[in-house]
Chains A and B, each alone.
Chain A
């Protein structure tokens, strides 16, 4: 089967840097995406890695290594508003699934 594993919860303080990992077992995919979801809200797109390496978007960066079956989301200069759940997701190259989402990581930012 195909699965993406994430830590269930991460806690950090304001201003810090935090890394949320995503390890996967999947036969093949076009790219790795990251989404943010605040409590009671809809998931919103953060980043996409089609190729190995680092993608930077403001305070957020995302990394993919296909050889290591691993990716991560890096959040810098943490703010209270970053407290949310974060999901990685892949769109497989085969099978009938359009997207497979990771288990999700709840990030708590402390003052």
Chain B
């Protein structure tokens, strides 16, 4: 079974631009969560999508948004990029009912904002 895939793996943008990141979950997984990882702040939860609906949301500004398609693939968008948005963006998929509550992470997209 293929793992979680994320594209692109690396991205360089300048301040003020916008960016769209993509995540394809493991087949059969309907929940997709997004995280921002930085050395200073660790792993911060952005949002979770399930069946094309945002189900949970972290404490990030409205510049961060996402969506999920009917095939469970998900995208996140960051508008008006700031230097502080430079980070590794990870997505994770999971089964709705998992006794171990396990999330499967993708390799991440490393975003650099100049």
- Could you say which residues of chain A place their CB within 8 Å of the CB of B104? 45
B42 with A100: CB separation less than 8 A: no
Question: B residues within 8 A CB of A96?
Answer: 56-58
CA distance A31 to B102 in the complex (A): 11
A16 CB to closest chain B CB (Å) equals: 26
Stretch at the interface among B64-72, B76-84, B105-113: B105-113
- The reply to whether A30 and B56 form a contact with Cβ atoms under 8 Å apart is no
Digitize A39-63: 1 where CB-to-B-CB distance is under 8 Å, 0 elsewhere: 0011111001010000000000000
Q: Are B56 and A97 in contact (CB under 8 A)?
A: yes
Say whether chain B's binding surface is mostly helix, strand, loop, or mixed: strand
The distance from the CB of B5 to the nearest CB of chain A, in whole angstroms, is: 11
Chain A residues in 8 Å Cβ range of B102: 33, 45, 48
C-alpha gap A8/B24 in the complex (Å): 32
Across the interface, which residues of A come within 8 angstroms of B106, CB to CB?
42
Closest to B39 in A: A104
Nearest-Cβ distance from residue A40 to partner chain B, whole angstroms: 9
Contact between chains at A99 and B105 (CB < 8 Å): no
